[in-house]
């Protein structure tokens, strides 16, 4: 197709209305535009700025394989700089990004990652053992508790005790403050970031961040002074890693990457797990198939065998497809004019690779609004059709670990308890910070499997 100088068509609506819809109606925001304008559409802003959404697999392939000299992904994530810092992998591009990524990859793969399986199971059992049978509780808060404890044990290397509890309380306060509608809006509207004192919404975020920074730097100093060379937590592995020139990461680099792992691995994983339990409860045939598959493992716990279960994997994959936690991959900013699917995008254009729209293409996923894990047993999807962790060089570094963790948490709980939502009505996702989550306040009850009402297993 010959390139044109025109951008895709798009809506002509006031920016403030568009942003309000983006924050408070995240699904309708992209669905309504896609119904009118199709796969590609442009949102125009002030000063002749343009934001172009793409969801066609061919377009996504072009975007994710483009050279970083043409498209910048790090600058597209600058909205997170106040939180993760300037050295975060999320904000880097080109050689700096590749250099940092090579240093961080090893702890998240292979035998090192699999060694964390027993810890994940232990933490999951501890939290789920605290649930009072048949008494309503917030499943999302419990999943947040599990994922935070896993981060503190596996990433930070903190053992159970007073120090872990102190750090957990501080990080919980910060992460909970990020969940509010105000903070969601403040991420996108600079004028809301006003520190009006400790009791103001943004002032509280600022002070919590300062406390977390002090805590992380104190941990870095303590760990550098330690003589224990046998630690296998990700924090220690990061400290012992060396760049090609033999230099270690600086304290500032360590702080920013630890904060990145904390932010990227807490709420995202907790929300995905909560969605998985929602669908498993909403569709009894899915639950029964899962239980039948888990029974094949017997009484022994083998993390490797558990995470290889095909139907468990398919349930996890479909959970990430239907409501991906991040609706778009890292935005790309055009550094030099580039052609994407016949459109010649000028310098400064912001490209939005839409994960949500890509996951709801009728020709790729028939009946896309239905939760059907079987679709992942029937065919393989390309990384431009299924991309819950983004794509290209900026695909989520912790993807393999997140998949491993979520499947083990699901299997550990499902093999012991039935988790049921009190309100059985269908729900639509709401924005929680930068992620899609279930509406707040949804309550669940846990029942031992021995007490569950058996229903025929659908095969």
Distance CA 33, CA 53 (A): 10
pLDDT tens, residue by residue, 129-175: 999 999 999 999 999 999 999 999 998 888 888 888 888 888 888 87
Whether residue 10 is contained in a domain is answered as: no
**Which whole-number Å values give the CA distances from 121 to 93, 270, 408, 420, in the listed order?**
36, 15, 7, 21
What per-residue confidence (pLDDT) applies to 180? 67
Is pLDDT at 97 greater than 70 in this prediction? yes
Give the pLDDT band (50/70/90) at residue 5: low
- Tell which wins on pLDDT, 165 or 6: 165
Distance CA 193, CA 258 (A): 24
Min mean pLDDT across 293-307, 398-412, 444-458 is at 444-458
Which residues are CB-neighbours of 210 under 8 A, at least 6 positions away?
A: none
**Cα-to-chain-centroid distance, residue 16:** 27
Domain of residue 338, CATH code: 1.10.630.10
pLDDT tens, residue by residue, 252-275: 999 999 999 888 888 899 999 999
What per-residue confidence (pLDDT) applies to 453? 46
pLDDT tens, residue by residue, 324-354: 989 999 999 999 999 999 999 999 999 999 9
Distance CA 146, CA 130 (A): 12
Q: Pairing between strand 444-448 and 350-353?
A: unpaired
Give the pLDDT band (50/70/90) at residue 454: very low
Domain that holds residue 138: 15-451
What is the model's pTM? Answer: 0.91
Take residue 18 and report the two structure tokens written for it: 């568009």
At 325, give phi and psi (nearest 5°). Answer: -60, -45
What per-residue confidence (pLDDT) applies to 15? 74
Average pLDDT, the chain: 88
Min mean pLDDT across 112-116, 189-193, 372-376, 400-404 is at 189-193
Whether residue 458 is contained in a domain is answered as: no
Whether residue 402 is contained in a domain is answered as: yes
pLDDT tens, residue by residue, 215-250: 999 999 998 888 666 787 889 888 988 888 899 999
What per-residue confidence (pLDDT) applies to 134? 92
Give the pLDDT band (50/70/90) at residue 298: confident
CB atoms closer than 10 angstroms to residue 127? 20
Distance CA 386, CA 320 (A): 9
Give the pLDDT band (50/70/90) at residue 181: low
Take residue 310 and report the two structure tokens written for it: 């095909």
What per-residue confidence (pLDDT) applies to 440? 81
> Cβ(21)–Cβ(31) under 8 Å?
no
Concatenate the DSSP letters of all residues of 28-87 into one string.
Answer: HHHHHHHHHH-S-EEEE-GGG-EEEEE-SHHHHHHHHHS-TTTEESSGGGGGGHHHH-TT
Average pLDDT rounded to a whole number, residues 376-380: 96
Give a three-class secondary structure readout of 103-157. HHCHHHCHHHHHCCHHHHHHHHHHHHHCCCCCCCECHHHHHHHHHHHHHHHHHCC
- CB < 8 Å & 24+ apart, contacts of 374-382: 374/314, 375/314, 375/318, 376/313, 376/314, 376/317, 376/318, 377/310, 377/311, 377/314, 382/57
DSSP 346: P
How many domains, the chain?
Answer: 1
Distance CA 277, CA 435 (A): 17
Is pLDDT at 456 greater than 50 in this prediction? no
Average pLDDT rounded to a whole number, residues 313-322: 97
Phi-psi region of 59 (alpha: psi -120 to 50; beta: other; left: phi over 0): alpha
Distance CA 421, CA 407 (A): 20
Sign of the CA dihedral with 44 first, then 33, 440, and 408 last: negative
Whether residue 246 is contained in a domain is answered as: yes
Percentage of the residues of the chain whose pLDDT score is greater than 70: 93
What per-residue confidence (pLDDT) applies to 314? 98
> Cβ(223)–Cβ(200) under 8 Å?
no
Whether residue 456 is contained in a domain is answered as: no
- Say whether 345 sits in a helix, a strand or coil: strand
> Cβ(384)–Cβ(324) under 8 Å?
no
What per-residue confidence (pLDDT) applies to 457? 40
Nearest to residue 458, comparing CAs of 279, 292, 285, 281? 285
What per-residue confidence (pLDDT) applies to 66? 93
Whether residue 34 is contained in a domain is answered as: yes
- Say whether 364 sits in a helix, a strand or coil: coil
Distance CA 383, CA 381 (A): 7
Whether residue 5 is contained in a domain is answered as: no
pLDDT tens, residue by residue, 22-75: 888 889 999 999 999 999 999 987 667 789 999 999 999 999 999 888 999 988
Distance CA 310, CA 293 (A): 9
């Amino acid at each position: 197709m010959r390139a044109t100088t025109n951008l895709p068509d798009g809506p002509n609506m006031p920016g403030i209305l568009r942003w309000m819809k983006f924050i408070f109606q995240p699904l309708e925001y992209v669905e309504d535009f896609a119904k009118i304008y199709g796969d590609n559409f442009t949102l125009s802003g002030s000063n002749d700025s343009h934001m172009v959404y793409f969801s066609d697999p061919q377009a996504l392939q072009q975007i994710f394989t483009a050279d970083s000299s043409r498209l910048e992904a790090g600058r597209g994530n600058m909205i997170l700089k106040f939180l993760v810092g300037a050295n975060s992998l999320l904000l880097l591009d080109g050689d700096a990004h590749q250099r940092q990524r090579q240093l961080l990859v090893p702890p998240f793969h292979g035998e090192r990652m699999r060694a964390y399986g027993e810890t994940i199971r232990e933490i999951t059992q501890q939290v789920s053992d605290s649930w009072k049978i048949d008494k309503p509780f917030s499943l999302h808060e419990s999943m947040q508790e599990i994922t935070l404890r896993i981060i503190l044990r596996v990433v930070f290397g903190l053992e159970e005790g007073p120090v872990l509890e102190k750090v957990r309380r501080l990080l919980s306060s910060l992460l909970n403050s990020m969940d509010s509608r105000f903070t969601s809006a403040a991420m996108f509207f600079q004028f809301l970031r006003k520190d009006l004192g400790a009791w103001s919404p943004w002032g509280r975020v600022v002070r919590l961040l300062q406390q977390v920074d002090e805590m992380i730097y104190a941990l870095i100093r303590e760990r550098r002074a330690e003589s224990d060379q046998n630690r296998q937590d990700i924090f220690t592995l990061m400290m012992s890693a060396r760049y090609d020139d033999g230099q270690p990461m600086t304290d500032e680099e360590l702080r920013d990457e630890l904060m990145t792992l904390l932010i990227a691995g807490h709420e995202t994983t907790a929300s995905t797990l909560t969605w998985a339990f929602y669908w498993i409860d909403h569709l009894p045939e899915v639950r029964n198939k899962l239980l039948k598959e888990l029974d094949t493992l017997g009484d022994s716990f083998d993390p490797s065998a558990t995470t290889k279960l095909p139907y468990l994997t398919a349930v996890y994959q479909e959970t990430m497809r239907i409501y991906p936690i991040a609706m778009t991959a890292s935005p790309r900013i055009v550094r030099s004019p580039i052609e994407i699917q016949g459109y010649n995008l000028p310098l400064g254009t912001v490209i939005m690779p839409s994960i949500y729209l890509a996951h709801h293409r009728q020709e790729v996923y028939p009946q896309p609004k239905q939760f059907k894990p079987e679709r992942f047993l029937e065919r393989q999807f390309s990384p431009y059709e299924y991309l819950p962790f983004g794509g290209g060089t900026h695909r989520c570094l912790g993807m393999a670990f997140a998949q491993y963790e979520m499947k083990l948490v699901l299997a550990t709980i499902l093999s012991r308890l039935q988790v049921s939502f009190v309100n059985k009505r269908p729900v639509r996702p709401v924005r929680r910070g930068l992620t899609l989550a279930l509406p707040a306040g949804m309550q669940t009850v846990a029942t031992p499997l021995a007490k569950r009402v058996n229903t025929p297993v659908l095969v």
